[in-house]
């Protein structure tokens, strides 16, 4: 009897456990589908497929991360993602020779709309179409048409980061022994090519040398011819004929501004001052033990010689022995005409010191953070400071540069109302520290901000998760951006009382969203809303289509 009862109890426990496991298993979800080529429709073997938890901050820039273990497609391109917890996901795929693709996205390397899985859901019949990478084929030649081997070839796209139009390098290669070049892994779009021969591979004493040249054969970035690349295209016959130009030397000495001693073994760069399209390789050198430096092969123009904040810590040397590592910064402006420039002095020091106070946040539950962000998208080295309980803050060793001021962690409903630097009004202005002089920064925070909340919808009126939503003052340029959540809703808090415009975009590069000239083209499609102190306004916005945004972006180029 005892044995039978024990067996009965064991059986009962097993049945209960099995029932629990079955219930838990039934809550799990599965996604099944196929990966095929967008060009041919053929199934793609060995493609990686994965999901990541939906985040409204995920956009079009950068490759999507693999946050869950991926699966790999079989010989027929089929895949199964099993044992998924219920939730909201982004589904993506990638394969060598193809561009990453988000499920439901209209173009490669863009995340698509989220997939919502309820307990026990099985999502079948999913198809992910991968676009073959595009390639550029060309040749680098000299002025006589002879091949140039080992030339550095750079590929650019137009960017609008920092609110201005500029070249940004996306990839590159080196020309082969016969001058030929191949560049791959390009998505559809408009690109620009340049080629140059490194300064160390040319005669440093020559008065006429090859200079960075843009396709097809110009030393002026603004005259570069665009190359239109369609999906999976192989663009051939791109010949870059290198240009020669008369060039000059810049020679000088870097000194420690505190001691007057030579600043030896210090990295310096030469940067064109023109704010037009900037391209080509960075020019750099390192000072000798006695602080002397030289830039050769310099074209006529206006330049800055500066230490590079993005290089991190520099080391000041004295008597040939290294001292402690110190972050030092220096800058000098030089003009090159029709002769060499001699005896330039670059004074280097610890950087800019700024102290100040943020009024209106005393005894706040959370201490705000103050940030100075370089306005030049090609620069790094933002400076940060925590605001103390009494509102005081201090920024040390700030590289001499031009910055945008930002404050995060403000109390709910608060905003920066006024800014003064050394007694001068700097509200809604960039902070210019290029002189290397520090000072006092006074920031006034007001707590009567209003808010705007609403829903972004597609052309059919359905909520649009992940849409980029922007708000900016009527007649103003500074815009704030958020991503709509999984329900398509968004909210802007801490808005100064004023009239605003609100617009939403299906898909938009983050850098393009910062360009006022682009945004102005859609002013009539933006919603108008007036925000009062401590009031909430609701607004519904229909997202501007990908096609409309792409068409206007092409006109800007």
**Inter-CA distances, 23 with 15, 118, 457, Å:** 12, 14, 37
H helix or E strand, kind and range, residue 519: helix 516-520
H helix or E strand, kind and range, residue 25: helix 2-27
**CA–CA separation, 212 and 214 (whole Å):** 7
Say which residue the tokens 């925070």 belong to.
445
| Per-position pLDDT tens, the chain of length 557 | 444 444 444 444 444 444 444 444 579 999 999 999 999 999 999 999 999 998 877 765 556 677 788 999 999 999 999 999 999 999 999 999 999 999 988 788 888 888 999 999 999 999 999 999 999 999 999 999 999 999 999 999 987 765 667 788 889 999 999 999 999 999 888 999 999 897 678 887 788 999 889 999 998 888 999 999 998 899 999 999 999 999 999 999 999 988 899 999 888 989 887 655 554 456 889 999 999 999 988 888 899 898 865 443 333 333 444 444 456 788 889 999 999 999 999 988 888 899 999 998 876 678 899 999 887 655 656 889 999 989 999 998 888 888 989 998 898 899 999 999 999 999 989 999 887 788 999 999 999 999 999 999 999 999 999 899 999 998 877 789 898 988 999 999 999 999 999 999 987 776 777 788 888 889 889 999 999 999 999 999 999 998 888 888 878 76
Reading phi first (left if > 0) and then psi (alpha if -120 to 50, else beta), residue 313 is in: beta
**CA–CA separation, 302 and 413 (whole Å):** 45
Token pair in block for residue 380: 């790094």
Residue-wise DSSP of 88-102: EEEEEEE-TTB--EE
- Position 315 scores a pLDDT of 38
**Inter-CA distances, 433 with 160, 354, 370, 372, 400, Å:** 23, 10, 16, 11, 5
- Position 181 scores a pLDDT of 97
- Position 313 scores a pLDDT of 36
CB atoms within 10 A of CB 442: 16
- Position 238 scores a pLDDT of 97
Token pair in block for residue 45: 């073997």
- Position 60 scores a pLDDT of 57
For the chain, the 3-state helix, strand and coil shares in percent, each to the nearest 5, are 10, 50, 40
- Position 308 scores a pLDDT of 61
- Position 3 scores a pLDDT of 44
DSSP single-letter state for residue 7: H
**CA–CA separation, 200 and 400 (whole Å):** 29
Domains present along the chain, CATH in parentheses: 28-130 (2.60.40.1120), 134-245 (2.60.40.1120), 250-349 (2.60.40.1120), 352-446 (2.60.40.1120), 452-556 (2.60.40.1120)
């Amino acid at each position: 009897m005892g044995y039978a009862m024990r067996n009965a109890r064991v059986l009962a426990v097993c049945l209960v456990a099995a029932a629990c496991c079955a219930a838990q298993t039934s809550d799990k979800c599965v996604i099944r589908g196929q990966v095929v080529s967008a060009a041919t429709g053929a199934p793609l073997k060995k493609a990686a497929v994965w999901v990541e938890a939906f985040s409204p901050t995920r956009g079009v820039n950068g490759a999507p991360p693999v946050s869950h273990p991926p699966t790999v497609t079989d010989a027929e391109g089929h895949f199964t993602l099993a044992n998924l917890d219920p939730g909201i996901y982004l589904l993506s795929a990638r394969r060598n020779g193809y561009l990453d693709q988000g499920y439901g996205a209209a173009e490669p390397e863009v995340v698509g709309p989220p997939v919502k899985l309820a307990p026990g859901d099985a999502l079948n019949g999913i198809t992910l179409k991968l676009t073959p990478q595009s390639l550029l084929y060309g040749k680098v030649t000299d002025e006589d048409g002879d091949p140039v081997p080992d030339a550095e070839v750079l590929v650019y796209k137009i960017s609008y980061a920092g609110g201005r139009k500029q070249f940004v390098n996306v990839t590159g290669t080196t020309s082969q022994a016969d001058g030929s070049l191949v560049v791959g892994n390009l998505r559809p779009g408009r690109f620009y090519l340049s080629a140059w021969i490194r300064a160390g591979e040319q005669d440093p004493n020559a008065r006429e040398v090859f200079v960075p040249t843009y396709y097809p054969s110009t030393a002026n970035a603004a005259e570069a011819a665009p190359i239109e690349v369609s999906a999976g295209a192989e663009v051939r016959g791109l010949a870059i004929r290198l240009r020669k130009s008369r060039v000059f030397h810049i020679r000088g000495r870097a000194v420690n501004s505190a001691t007057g001693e030579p600043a030896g073994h210090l990295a310096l760069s030469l940067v064109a001052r023109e704010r037009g399209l900037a391209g080509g390789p960075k020019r750099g050198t390192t000072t000798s033990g006695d602080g002397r430096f030289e830039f050769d092969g310099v074209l006529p123009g206006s330049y800055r010689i500066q230490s590079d904040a993005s290089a991190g810590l520099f080391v000041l040397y004295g008597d040939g022995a290294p001292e402690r590592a110190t972050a030092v910064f220096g800058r000098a402006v030089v003009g090159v005409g029709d002769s060499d420039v001699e005896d330039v002095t670059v004074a280097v020091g610890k950087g800019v010191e700024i102290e100040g106070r943020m009024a209106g946040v005393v005894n706040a539950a959370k201490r705000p953070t103050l940030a100075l962000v370089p306005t030049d998208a090609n620069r790094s080295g933002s400076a940060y400071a925590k605001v103390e309980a009494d509102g005081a803050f201090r920024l040390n060793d700030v590289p001499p540069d031009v910055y945008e001021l930002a404050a995060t962690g403000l109390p709910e409903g608060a905003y920066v109302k006024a800014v003064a630097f050394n007694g001068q009004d700097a509200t809604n202005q960039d902070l210019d520290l290029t002189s290397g002089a520090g000072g006092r920064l006074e920031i006034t925070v007001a707590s009567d901000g209003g808010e705007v909340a609403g829903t972004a919808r597609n052309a059919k009126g359905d909520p649009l998760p992940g849409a980029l939503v922007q708000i900016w003052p009527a007649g103003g340029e500074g815009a704030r951006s958020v991503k709509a959540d999984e329900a398509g809703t968004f909210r802007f808090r801490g808005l100064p009382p004023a009239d605003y415009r609100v617009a939403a975009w299906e898909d938009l590069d983050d850098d393009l969203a910062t360009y006022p000239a682009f945004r102005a083209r859609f002013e009539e499609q933006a919603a108008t809303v007036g925000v009062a102190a401590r009031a909430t306004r609701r607004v519904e916005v229909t997202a501007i289509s990908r096609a409309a945004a792409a068409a206007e972006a092409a006109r800007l180029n």
